[in-house]
A and B are shown apart, each in its own frame.
Chain A
């Protein structure tokens, strides 16, 4: 077994194991952390495919930002797991049927027959996946790329506007106004003689 094959199987075991753990562990925080581990293992797979840009971006965006916020929410929530687990046995047969069906469909679409792909020839030392991706994104796919960017911008603004609410009852101090305060507004220096007894 070559070193690459060893790495592939190692990260595959980590990926599958952590993905299973995400849905089986009892504690929701552990579950979120296993999802992080699954992302990291996926990133390792991508880097082994010489797609280092995607791999690093997965860690940067999903592990570094999205999952942190996720973890935030999960830690703050008080989830009653026993209520969620109620009726598990009753729904199990239906769930099994759906799972087997999904597995069958996926096996047909991405089965071993379709996926008999030779590993790509390793690119030269001067090949940069990041640069190749940038060239494609900003030349050939520039319009789809820009449209996606605009859609994302609209989504950001919409999310901010939807959650923005003025609360007149909150005692909020405007930091900008506080910073502009000068000494003369607050303090009056008085010069006076010390009093005689």
Chain B
């Protein structure tokens, strides 16, 4: 049976194989995005001592599907004097990079769509392209609130990209590779070998910049409701709005997954090198404790939870404070730590930089 299936798979044309793999990544991703919105409302609800959505389906579990149906059936209003083509292409431009970036994300050892050498550069390039959707949306809507929101958000994204890129340079120095899979394998050994420990300041900078990049609270001035209504997507309705929404959540999941991969050893188990090998041989328990995709998903889910936690905890930053934090705090921290990492590489401090 297994033999036959493998034979059938290898008989398929390459393009069909690639498309099936893309489907295998994107379908769970889209479901995860839908249920992240549900999780957000539930978690923030419980943090604020409310119940959250609990009417649609058992305990509210069908809420995201109801939301999607509602948005699908609503009319997409195009404002007067809006630039029609750019107005409609902007949501696509914002979601496409968020989905394309998953091509180089390894879920397990070798379980990756495109195992390219410059994977990390590819990720940086794609995340930097996401800003176009926002700028174009703001400009094409022919609305000053939208334009102001997109300006704020674009300035914020470009500023934090620098800190983010510098933080990644530290990871590259420690791993000695740009391939995401090899970066994870460089952290093999035990919890002690993860880059979280030697690159802790860079980890903090990366995650804070990640929150700022996705325009999430506490850095969500781009959609500051009290000041500029909803920011760049104020004129969007129906499915066009939903696509922006999906892009935001897909980006959140991507940032969480990357943090897990680059600093917490991706699919590597925290028990690796601590428990004896005989434990990993136990049928079910051994598989659970051993490295695998489930550890990657758990770490990603933890950071995703942090996004929601931050939103419920911190008040919104003021715009000039955001700029100050990015340029005057995070970037100097990364530069100092790059010097430290460089010295560590030169001396060869083990086990990370050896």
A-side residues, CB < 8 A to B, are 29-30, 33, 36, 52-53, 56-57, 59-60, 63-65, 68-69, 71-72, 75, 128-131, 173, 175-176, 179
Whether the pair B117, A131 counts as a contact (CB closer than 8 A) is yes
Whether the pair A60, B116 counts as a contact (CB closer than 8 A) is no
Which residues does chain A contribute within 8 Å of B321, judged by CB atoms?
A: 175, 179
Whether the pair B132, A68 counts as a contact (CB closer than 8 A) is yes
CA distance A70 to B161 in the complex (A): 17
Which residues does chain A contribute within 8 Å of B160, judged by CB atoms?
A: none
Is residue B340 within 8 Å, beta carbon to beta carbon, of the partner chain?
Answer: no
Whether the pair A59, B139 counts as a contact (CB closer than 8 A) is no
Whether the pair B125, A68 counts as a contact (CB closer than 8 A) is no
A68 with B118, Cβ < 8 A, contacts A59-B129, A63-B129, A75-B147 known: no
15 more CB-based (< 8 A) A-B contacts, given A63-B128, A64-B129, A179-B321: A53-B118, A53-B121, A56-B122, A57-B121, A60-B121, A65-B158, A68-B132, A68-B154, A69-B158, A72-B135, A72-B151, A75-B147, A129-B118, A130-B178, A173-B320
Cross-interface CB contact of A71 among B121, B135, B320, B324, cutoff 8 Å: B135
The residue of chain B having its C-beta at the shortest distance from the C-beta of A53 within the complex is B118
Contact string against A for B residues 113-137, beta-carbon threshold 8 Å, 1 for contact and 0 otherwise: 0001110011011001101100110
Which residues does chain A contribute within 8 Å of B136, judged by CB atoms?
A: 33
Number of residues in B with C-beta < 8 Å to the partner? 25
Which residues does chain A contribute within 8 Å of B129, judged by CB atoms?
A: 59, 63-64
CA distance A42 to B117 in the complex (A): 20
CA distance A175 to B328 in the complex (A): 11
B-side residues, CB < 8 A to A, are 86, 116-118, 121-122, 124-125, 128-129, 131-132, 135-136, 139, 147, 151, 154, 158, 161, 178, 318, 320-321, 324
Whether the pair A60, B125 counts as a contact (CB closer than 8 A) is yes
Subset of 30 A-B contacts with CB under 8 Å: A29-B86, A30-B86, A36-B132, A52-B116, A52-B117, A52-B118, A56-B121, A59-B125, A59-B128, A59-B129, A60-B124, A63-B125, A64-B128, A64-B161, A65-B161, A68-B131, A68-B132, A68-B154, A69-B158, A71-B135, A75-B139, A75-B147, A128-B117, A129-B117, A129-B118, A130-B117, A130-B118, A173-B320, A175-B320, A179-B321
Whether the pair B131, A64 counts as a contact (CB closer than 8 A) is yes
The minimal Cβ–Cβ distance linking A62 to chain B, given in whole angstroms, is 10
The minimal Cβ–Cβ distance linking A108 to chain B, given in whole angstroms, is 36
The residue of chain A having its C-beta at the shortest distance from the C-beta of B317 within the complex is A175
The minimal Cβ–Cβ distance linking A158 to chain B, given in whole angstroms, is 18
CA distance A72 to B131 in the complex (A): 12
The minimal Cβ–Cβ distance linking B122 to chain A, given in whole angstroms, is 6
Q: Is the interface of B mostly helix, strand, loop or mixed?
A: helix
Which residues does chain B contribute within 8 Å of A36, judged by CB atoms?
A: 132
The minimal Cβ–Cβ distance linking A98 to chain B, given in whole angstroms, is 33
CA distance A56 to B117 in the complex (A): 12
CA distance A146 to B135 in the complex (A): 35
Query: Which of B86, B117, B161, B324: most chain A CB closer than 10 A?
Result: B117
Whether the pair B125, A72 counts as a contact (CB closer than 8 A) is no
Whether the pair B154, A60 counts as a contact (CB closer than 8 A) is no
The residue of chain B having its C-beta at the shortest distance from the C-beta of A76 within the complex is B151
CA distance A60 to B124 in the complex (A): 7
CA distance A56 to B127 in the complex (A): 12
Which residues does chain B contribute within 8 Å of A56, judged by CB atoms?
A: 118, 121-122, 125
Which residues does chain B contribute within 8 Å of A63, judged by CB atoms?
A: 125, 128-129
Which residues does chain B contribute within 8 Å of A128, judged by CB atoms?
A: 117-118
The minimal Cβ–Cβ distance linking B243 to chain A, given in whole angstroms, is 19
CA distance A173 to B139 in the complex (A): 30
The minimal Cβ–Cβ distance linking A123 to chain B, given in whole angstroms, is 11
The residue of chain A having its C-beta at the shortest distance from the C-beta of B124 within the complex is A60
Which residues does chain A contribute within 8 Å of B116, judged by CB atoms?
A: 52
Query: Which of A30, A130, A173: most chain B CB closer than 10 A?
Result: A130
CA distance A176 to B124 in the complex (A): 31
The residue of chain B having its C-beta at the shortest distance from the C-beta of A179 within the complex is B321
CA distance A29 to B122 in the complex (A): 26
CA distance A57 to B86 in the complex (A): 26
Whether the pair B128, A72 counts as a contact (CB closer than 8 A) is no
The residue of chain A having its C-beta at the shortest distance from the C-beta of B157 within the complex is A68
Which residues does chain B contribute within 8 Å of A52, judged by CB atoms?
A: 116-118
CA distance A175 to B321 in the complex (A): 6
Which residues does chain A contribute within 8 Å of B128, judged by CB atoms?
A: 59-60, 63-65
